[in-house]
Structure 1
Amino acid sequence: MSVPDTTYRRIRQEVTERADALWDIASALHADPEYAFAERRAATLLTGELRRAGFDVRQDVAGMPTAFTARSGEGRPAVALLLEYDALPGLGHACGHNLIAAAGLGAALAARAVVEPGAGSVLAVGSPAEEGGGGKVREVEAGVFDDVDAALMFHPGVYDWARAPLTAQEQYRVGFHGRAAHPTGNPTEGVDALAALVELFNVLAALGRRLPEASHVQGIITHGGKATNIVPEYAEGLFGLRAATTQALDDLAGQLRSAAAGVAQATGTTCAVERATVRYEHFRDSEALSGRFAAHLGRAGIALTPPAPGVYLGSSDIGNVSSRVPAIHPFVAIMDEDGSDHTPGFAAAAASDRARRVLTAATEALACTAVDVLYDAGLRAEAWSGHRETVGAPR
């Protein structure tokens, strides 16, 4: 069953009536940035709004004090609106998560207001620590999305793109163990762990020249010894790995392990390689759902296009959600293409008049797409069919 135009008009009215309140929430979050797993005031503000609207709110989700779910309705079909609200240390909301939270909240409220009893469930999912820690990864592992038919969010950016070219990423800690010695008194007794670590950087630099598009390794030295008159017996580096797909990331991690083992053998050291963060999978876009969102957003005069070929915009834990259910993560510009997120300029843009207009438009488009998911069985079937082709997961 398709959604009647009268329902879309009701959604537009609901969002219009809430526009000022949603901007107040986005502004309050912007003025009071909180960081990974410590977004207590943000979570309290958002769950309070959902409770007042009649949602069944559950907190401490997946063992995270600032994660929550809020449900209206029962059973399937079910659509999840995702809220992010962590900020960047030193930069505040320079990724616009204040707008993501307000839009997800507003879309959930508007959808609930128009969805008839028995039509399914509207779920607002509060996910902390997207910038580092991977709240959605833990929520996926805890089964939050097991009975969900679609996960929807938007992200403010510098492009108007219908889908997000987001790579897979993880970090590894590599430690080399050698043997301490005096560099002058008994230099032949020493086994220089730092020299081994430096050699690993050299090997990885050579490897980098033949990696596939979007794959790279960026490393830093986190421990290089204790004094210049001691041959370092231990040295450690932290390496960030990114790749266009999760499989390519696994391949890259294998190359890192092989390189570290080879260096250890060549230098007489021993090494340990361990993953230091959760893994963010690459994002798998639901073309069917992204098309609906783009069409709804177009009514506000914002035209979304495919991303530019060969351009990648970092990584996000939404990738892990997209491996479980059909998902969207479009970018909607709040500043021009010569700008960049994770900058003071983008933080300012997240509280601008343009951001306010985008917030209202994206909230309406998300709410309309959510209702499409609940009412249109054909759309759900198309989304799941595309998901199975991409992921191969039975459903």
Structure 2
Amino acid sequence: MSPTPDATYRRIHQEVTDRADALWKVASALHGDPEYAFAERRAAALLTGELRRGGFEVHQDVAGMPTAFTARSGEGRPVVALLLEYDALPGLGHACGHNLIAAAGLGAALAARAALEPGAGSVLAVGSPAEENGGGKVLEVEAGVFDEVDAALMFHPGVYDWARAPLTASEQYRVGFHGRAAHPTGSPTEGIDALAALVELFNVLSALGRRLPEASHVQGVITHGGKATNIVPEYAEGLFGLRAATTGALDDLAGQLRSAAAGVAQATGTRCAVDRTGVRYEHFRDSEVLSGRFAAHLGRAGIALTPPAPGVYLGSSDIGNVSGRVPAIHPFVAIMREDGSDHTPEFATAAASERARQVLSAAAEALACTAVDVLYDAELRAEAWSGHRGTVGSPR
């Protein structure tokens, strides 16, 4: 017989309380030693070491990434995944608070394992590198890490207390124009100016931007503009970041970029190549029922979550790709005031503050309670899957 929910929640509360100092030590160690995309070796070693000592079976080099890992406790279905991020931002350190995400996921996994009865299913801690640049979760999804998972849970520190994450779809494209070099004075009619074509593409995209739907935009930079002022540029290249409210809208926007580049090439006599760089981040699909459970558990710590403000979007994340496969949550919990911003030095400071320490414990407990809800409650799992708008997966 399963224990009563209240007894399980009390056990989790005690487990997180007993580990609070150790979890903060982990968060502080990560904060003081930031590592970057696909090179988070010390972070991965620290986290996997803690999970092994906690009784988890650890697998490293997941999906071909040396700093990715999974750690499992229990056997069979159902399976709940707790996601750990631990990459930092070059020049800013943990200005996105991933040190707190990693420590909260670790604490939740350890507490959930301790509170579960044998045969309740499996707790899977998933270490995902390079969220900021590279998309470790995208590669893990493609490698099948989430194929046998019933729900994926994480939280993100922020400047809002929001129950769900308004995260857009995003991808990057490299656009190159090929022209013909010539002397701009001696042989001006022989040259075909590739840079002029690239500049014209920026103009076309600027006009396009005035009629794009909400949350869609294109931001570009010139990465190659020529070699010298006395040579007509024979090659010019730009890098363009595309974002849209949904993955379908992102596909539409990418098609518009391709059409615009082809039209400019035809008009200027150049040739163009449009190639996607890196992985695509899908938009985030929130599991309302699971986010509601997390919010209720977090409320016991005195933190009230609300829906996000209409029309406000908070960037993109590879959790979107996970949410396309399984029911997922990604609530934001504030560690600084709303007039602040992540990806700033001030947010990096906040990620090591006393407020951050309080949020870490509260989030770890709420994640662990939500995890055991998923494992013990078949009706909850069925409801989460019935509301899921992803691409693959099935309830168990």
Q: TM-score range by the shorter chain?
A: over 0.9
Once the two structures are superposed, what CA deviation does each residue of 1:30-86 show, in whole Å capped at 9, x if it has no partner?
000000000000000000000111111000000000000000001100000000000
Residue in structure 2 matched with residue 109 of structure 1 by the alignment:
110
Cα distance in 2, alignment partners of residues 302 and 328 from structure 1: 17
Contact 1:294/1:304 (<8 A) preserved: yes
TM (norm. structure 1) is: 0.98
Alignment TM-score, normalising by the size of structure 2: 0.98
| C-alpha displacement of 1:116 | 1.0
Question: Deviation string for 1:267-315 (max 9, x for gaps)?
Answer: 0000000001200000000001000000000000000000000000000
Distance 1:338 1:391, change over 3 A: farther
Alpha-carbon distance in structure 2 between the residues aligned to 1:5 and 1:325: 27
Change (3 A) 1:394 1:376: closer
Q: Is the 8 A contact 2:381 2:395 kept in 1?
A: no
Q: Map Cα deviations across residues 135-166 of structure 1 (whole Å, 9 max, x no partner).
A: 00000000000000000000000000000000
The question of whether the paired residues in 2 share the 8 Å contact of 1:284 and 1:390 is answered with: no
Task: Give the equivalent residue in structure 2 for 1:373.
Answer: 374
Secondary structure class of the residue paired with 1:225: coil
> Matches of residues 111-130 of structure 1 in structure 2 within 5 Å?
111-130=112-131
Q: Conserved in 2, the CA contact under 8 Å of 1:149 and 1:325? A: yes
Per the alignment, in what secondary structure is the counterpart of residue 388 of structure 2? helix
Q: CA deviation at 1:389?
A: 7.7
Please state how far the C-alpha of 1:345 moved relative to its aligned partner.
Answer: 0.2
Aligned partners of 2:222 and 2:324: how far apart in 1?
Answer: 33
Following superposition, the deviation at residue 391 of structure 1 comes to: 8.0
Aligned mates of 1:171, 1:212 — CA distance in 2: 19
Tell me the distance in 2 between the aligned counterparts of 1:84 and 1:27: 14
Q: Report SS of the residue matched to 2:163.
A: coil
CA contact (8 A) 2:284 2:319 kept: yes
The structure-2 alpha-carbon separation of the partners of 1:206 and 1:391, relative to structure 1 and needing over 3 Å to count, comes to farther
Identity of aligned pairs, percent? Answer: 90
| Native 8 Å contact 2:180 2:233 kept in 1 | yes
Change (3 A) 1:393 1:239: farther
Q: CA deviation at 1:186?
A: 0.6
Deviation of the 1:394 alpha carbon: 8.9
CA displacement at 1:393 relative to structure 2 = 7.8
**Count of aligned pairs:** 393
1:197-217 alpha-carbon deviations (Å, 9 max, x no partner) = 000000000000000000000
User: C-alpha deviations, 1:162-183, integer Å up to 9, x for none?
Assistant: 0000000000000000000000
In 1: Cα distance, 2:215 partner to 2:5 partner? 43
Q: SS where residue 189 of structure 2 aligns? A: helix
- C-alpha separation in 2, matches of 1:42 and 1:299: 30
For residue 340 of structure 1, what is the aligned residue in structure 2?
341
- Residue equivalent to 1:35: 36
After superposition, the Cα gap between the structure-2 partners of 1:225 and 1:54, relative to the gap in structure 1 and judged at 3 Å, is same
Aligned-pair CA distance for 1:4 = 2.0
Post-superposition CA distance 1:71-121 (Å, at most 9, x none): 000110000000000000000000000000000000000000011111100
Aligned partners of 1:184 and 1:394: how far apart in 2?
Answer: 70
Structure 1: runs of 5 or more not aligned: none
1:69·1:123 contact (CA, 8 Å) conserved in 2?
Answer: yes
- Quick one: structure 1 residues 393 and 172, their matched pair in 2 at CA, closer, same or farther if it must change by over 3 Å? farther
Deviations 1:237-288 (A, max 9, x none): 0000000000000000000000000000000000000001200000000001
Q: Structure 1 runs of 4+ off > 3 angstroms?
A: 388-395
Instruction: Return closer, same or farther for 1:334/1:44 CA change in 2, 3 Å cut-off.
Output: same
Q: Determine if contact 1:78/1:121 at 8 Å carries over to the other structure.
A: yes
Q: How far 1:390 sits from its partner (Å)?
A: 8.7
Contact 1:127 1:135 in 2 (8 A): yes
Is the CA contact (8 Å cut-off) linking 1:293 and 1:366 kept in structure 2? yes
1:315-358 CA distances to partner (integer Å, 9 max, x unpaired)?
00000000000000000000000000000000000000000000
Contact 1:388 1:394 in 2 (8 A): no
Q: 1:52 to 1:313 in 2, by over 3 A?
A: same
1:119 to 1:370, Cα distance in 2 relative to 1, 3 A: same
1:201-240 alignment, distance < 5 Å: 201-240=202-241
For 2:200 and 2:217, locate their aligned partners in 1 and report how far apart those are by CA, in whole Å.
Answer: 17
Q: 1:394 to 1:61 in 2, by over 3 A?
A: same
Retained in 2: the 8 A contact 1:172–1:274?
yes
Say whether the 8 Å CA contact 1:179–1:193 is kept in structure 2. Answer: yes
CA separation of 1:197/1:393 partners in 2, compared to 1, >3 Å: closer, same or farther?
farther
Q: What's the offset of the Cα at 1:392? A: 9.6
Cα pair distance change 1:157/1:6, threshold 3 Å: same
Q: Does 1:65 pair with 2:66?
A: yes
CA contact (8 A) 2:147 2:393 kept: no
Distance 1:232 1:388, change over 3 A: closer
Question: 1:388 Cα deviation (Å)?
Answer: 4.1
Who is 2:94 aligned against? 93
